[in-house]
Chains A and B, each alone.
Chain A
Amino acid sequence: MFGNGNGREDGPEKWEAQLRKGCLELAVLAVLRPGRSYGLEILRALEETSHLVLSEGTIYPILNRLRQDSLVTTEWVESESGHPRKYYSLTAKGRERAAQMAKTWLEFADGVTTLVSPLVGSKKRSAT
């Protein structure tokens, strides 16, 4: 009953956008794992490793929400270019949540990959 999309006529673009958006929270937590970072740096890290970000603005409300949920803490630091930057770092709770989400994600992705591989003629499934 809850949000499984029965009878919804969403186009493939909308589905893809929702998928990206849904993964963004986990991706941001993953980027912050090595240490503190600020918005643009997080965006760059995401751009390098994935194509998750469609509109750069989406990342800031997510960071704001992570802070409200006490998954990250923030501090303003004066940059060498003369203006302050807002740095984010994971809290213990954030670290825990990231690990839990990562585990869920890997199980989930594994199951779906197995299921959908035949759709694009991938050999992955027959190999297992």
Chain B
Amino acid sequence: MTNQDPLEAYVTTLRSALSGMTVTDREEIVEEIRSHVADRVSTSGLTVEETLQRLGPVDELAKDYMSGALVKRARTSFSPFLILRATFAWAMTGVHGVAAFVIAVLGYALGLGMMICAFLKPLFPEQIGLWIGPDLFTFGIHPSDVPAREVLGPWFVQVTLTIGILSFIVTTVIMRRLLPRFKYWKKAAFHPSAHRRVAVQAN
């Protein structure tokens, strides 16, 4: 049973944890880990289990690989999914990441909501609209118990589509500008310029 082989189990977990990478990158990492284990076992008399233990927990190893790779890909990506995943990884590290994640979620949610409105309008022309009443300002379905009138009329689809697309673009641009800070935060204490600042203070 290959499942019992500790190296195979380690490699399988590593592969699935690195599933966000390209196959080439992932397999190269797996090959390198295999090569490391083979070398360690044949030259230092350690067992496979001991070698794997010295490599550290597999999820931690994968996290180390992914945080760099994910953010790097997201920084040049137009995929909201990828950007959200990278920002989520950032959010796990502290309050600034959480703030960035909230901006991303709100921006994309607004974009998605507007797209859905534009899509639903031709299907339910009487219910979907920009409804404005004495106590109401809402894009979407008209709440039947509140007095309100639809103000956009034939422009509804164009307006919601424009706002939707703009939300996606603006959020993506903002996140692509914010994400490089993630790396900066992680390395701040050891960044060359941080060294210089501390050294200046120390003198």
Residues of A participating in the B interface, judged by any CB pair closer than 8 Å? 2-5, 18, 22-23, 25, 38-40, 55-58, 60-62, 64-65, 68, 76, 79, 81, 83-86, 100-101, 104-105, 107-108, 110-112, 114-115
B40 surroundings in chain A (CB, below 8 A): 40
Q: Report how far A28 CA is from B190 CA in the complex, Å.
A: 15
Interface of A is mostly: helix
Interface check B1, CB cutoff 8 A: no
Decide if B36 touches A40 in the complex (CB within 8 Å).
yes
B3 surroundings in chain A (CB, below 8 A): none
Q: Report how far A76 CA is from B65 CA in the complex, Å.
A: 20
Decide if B56 touches A108 in the complex (CB within 8 Å).
no
The 3 closest A-B pairs by CB, nearest first: A3-B188, A22-B190, A55-B56
A64-B199 CB under 8 A given contacts A56-B55, A57-B55 = no
Chain B nearest CB from A107 CB (Å) reads 5
Contact of A114 among B33, B36, B202 (CB under 8 A): B202
Count of B residues near A, CB < 8 Å?
Answer: 37
B54 surroundings in chain A (CB, below 8 A): 55-57
Decide if B28 touches A83 in the complex (CB within 8 Å).
no
Q: Report how far A22 CA is from B69 CA in the complex, Å.
A: 18
Decide if A61 touches B65 in the complex (CB within 8 Å).
yes
Mask of B48-89 contacts with A, CB within 8 angstroms, 1/0: 000000111000110011001100100000000000000000
Decide if B55 touches A101 in the complex (CB within 8 Å).
no
A104-B192 CB under 8 A given contacts A68-B72, A84-B35 = yes
Decide if A57 touches B56 in the complex (CB within 8 Å).
yes
Decide if A22 touches B198 in the complex (CB within 8 Å).
no
A4 surroundings in chain B (CB, below 8 A): 188-189
Interface check B42, CB cutoff 8 A: yes
Chain A nearest CB from B83 CB (Å) reads 18
If A57-B56, A60-B32, A86-B31 are given as contacts, then 9 extra A-B residue pairs at C-beta distance below 8 Å, sorted by A number, are A2-B188, A4-B189, A18-B189, A40-B43, A61-B64, A107-B196, A108-B196, A111-B198, A115-B202
Chain A nearest CB from B110 CB (Å) reads 29
Mask of B107-118 contacts with A, CB within 8 angstroms, 1/0: 000000000000
A108-B36 CB under 8 A given contacts A18-B189, A60-B61, A64-B65 = no
